[in-house]
């Protein structure tokens, strides 16, 4: 059996090869130590890299842009799916827009979008507004989509005729999510939305009923300004003198509440003018109802209550302000009433809106009886 580790006899001289390797023992030890050191370094580096990977895995998403703090920006491969709504506000920078897109899940990182934004020479043409975009889009595609007019969504708010300012505020809040309290506060500050001085600080009747398209992020003052400006435009379009604006709107608001059919608006307007010319009390239920406190209803008692400034059964002339927001046709009727001598009107069929007009009080009483019969039959 061959000895794996033979020992040299003491009297054997070292060969030339052995002599040339004199001192090899210490050198071997140094090489072994270097190898051990290298192994230790490799192990330590391995542990550090492993720890770094764990930290990245746990915290990488918390680093800026989710990019791990370096290297190329994270970006989705596309083409995208689903949908998200994003608002680009006036004055937003590319980084601002990118942050909004990241929050909505449209792009993977603000950095990727900012780079794509800066690389696109048309990016400065992106307009404020509300956009409908795909989610998980490549950043460059997101920039192109924001430049595409078909991606923009205009928020629409429709205000029907005959609503009071309070009802209009509720409707605006439902559609735009602007708090009612914020809208009411703005409504009291007429200067903030251009309420004409002819309104004397009272916005009732000045918020024109129509469908409004809101470009960009909605604001209370911005929406109210559109509505007020529309009312002024209609009055000017009908050549109504400024000193008659408020009076015209008061009459038109009564027409809006009293007339059930378009063909009757001019007759109601004429009846109002004829009563005022007599002179006689207007005695219009709609004005009394407007001035009632919450929980009160029309009755003989409320019609005799002089504390209600809108009680036209007691107070002469027109009420202090409009009682609702009149539409175009009611304003036109107030400006140009239908010729006639009518003083009274009564709706005798609330399904069809049929209304009877007369200048004779006795006939009016018969018309009222016909109205009461219809109501009794349809209760």
pLDDT digits (tens, 9 = 90+) for 72-102: 689 998 888 899 989 888 789 999 999 999 9
CATH number at residue 212: 3.30.1490
Are 161 and 220 within one domain? Answer: yes
Are 208 and 169 within one domain? Answer: yes
Those residues whose C-beta lies under 8 Å from the C-beta of residue 202, and which sit 6 or more positions away, are 320, 321
Neighbouring-strand partners of residue 345: 357
Q: Which of 36-40, 123-127, 149-153 has the lowest mean pLDDT?
A: 36-40
State how far the Cα of 48 lies from the Cα of 177, in Å rounded to an integer: 52
Position 283 scores a pLDDT of 96
Are 213 and 270 within one domain? Answer: no
Domain count, the chain: 3
Q: Cα separations (Å) of 201 from 188, 192, 219, 254?
A: 7, 11, 20, 20
> SS3 of 214, please?
strand
Q: Assess if residue 242 is contained within a domain.
A: no
Are 275 and 339 within one domain? Answer: yes
Question: Domain boundary at 124, 153, 182, which?
Answer: 153
Are 160 and 136 within one domain? Answer: no
Crossing angle for the helix pair 262-277 and 245-258, nearest 10 degrees?
A: 120
pLDDT band (50, 70, 90) for residue 55: very low
Range(s) of the domain holding residue 118: 81-153
Whether the link from the prior residue into 116 is cis, omega within 30° of 0, is no
Are 100 and 167 within one domain? Answer: no
Q: Which string of DSSP letters, residue by residue, matches 231-281?
A: HHHHHHHTT--GGGHHHHHHHHHHHHHH-SSHHHHHHHHHHHHHHHHTT--
Are 160 and 146 within one domain? Answer: no
Q: Per the structure block, which two tokens stand in for 195?
A: 């309420």
Q: What would the pLDDT profile of 306-341 be if each residue is shown by its tens digit? A: 999 999 999 999 999 999 999 999 999 999 999 999
Q: Assess if residue 336 is contained within a domain.
A: yes
Are 225 and 267 within one domain? Answer: no
Q: Assess if residue 304 is contained within a domain.
A: yes
Q: Per the structure block, which two tokens stand in for 65?
A: 């842009």
Q: Which of 60-64, 170-174, 332-336, 353-357 has the lowest mean pLDDT?
A: 60-64
Neighbouring-strand partners of residue 135: 81
Are 183 and 222 within one domain? Answer: yes
Which carries the bigger pLDDT value, residue 321 or residue 39? 321
């Amino acid at each position: 059996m061959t000895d794996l580790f033979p020992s040299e006899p003491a009297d054997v001289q070292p060969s030339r090869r052995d002599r040339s390797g004199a001192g090899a023992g210490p050198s071997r030890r140094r090489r072994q130590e270097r190898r051990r050191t290298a192994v230790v370094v490799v192990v330590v580096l391995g542990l550090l890299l492993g720890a770094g990977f764990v930290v990245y895995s746990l915290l990488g998403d918390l680093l800026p842009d989710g990019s791990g703090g370096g290297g190329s920006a994270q970006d989705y491969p596309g083409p995208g799916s689903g949908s998200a709504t994003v608002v680009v506000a006036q004055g937003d920078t590319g980084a601002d827009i990118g942050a909004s897109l990241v929050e909505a899940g449209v792009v993977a990182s603000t950095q990727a979008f900012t780079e794509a934004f800066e690389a696109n020479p048309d990016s400065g043409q992106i307009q404020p507004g509300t956009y409908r975009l795909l989610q998980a889009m490549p950043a460059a595609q997101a920039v192109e989509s924001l430049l595409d007019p078909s991606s923009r969504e205009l928020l629409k708010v429709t205000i029907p005729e005959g609503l009071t300012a309070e009802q209009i505020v509720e409707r605006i809040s439902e559609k735009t999510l602007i708090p009612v309290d914020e809208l009411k506060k703005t409504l009291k500050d007429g200067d903030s939305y251009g309420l004409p001085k002819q309104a004397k600080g009272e916005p009732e009747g000045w918020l024109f009923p129509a469908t409004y398209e809101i470009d960009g992020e909605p604001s209370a003052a911005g929406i109210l300004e559109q509505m007020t400006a529309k009312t002024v435009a209609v009055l000017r379009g009908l050549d109504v003198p400024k000193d008659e604006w408020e009076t015209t709107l008061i009459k038109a608001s009564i027409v809006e509440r009293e007339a059930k059919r378009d063909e009757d608006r001019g007759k109601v307007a004429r009846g109002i003018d004829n009563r005022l010319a007599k002179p006689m009390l207007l005695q219009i239920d709609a004005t009394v109802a407007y001035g009632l406190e919450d929980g009160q209803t029309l009755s003989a008692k409320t019609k005799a209550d002089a504390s209600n400034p809108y009680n036209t059964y007691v107070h002469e002339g027109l009420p202090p302000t409009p009682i609702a927001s009149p539409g175009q046709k009611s304003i036109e009727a107030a400006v140009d009433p239908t010729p006639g001598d009518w003083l009274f009107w009564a709706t005798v069929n609330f399904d069809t809106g049929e209304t009877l007009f007369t200048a004779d009080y006795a006939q009016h009483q018969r018309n009222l009886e016909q109205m009461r019969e219809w109501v009794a039959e349809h209760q």
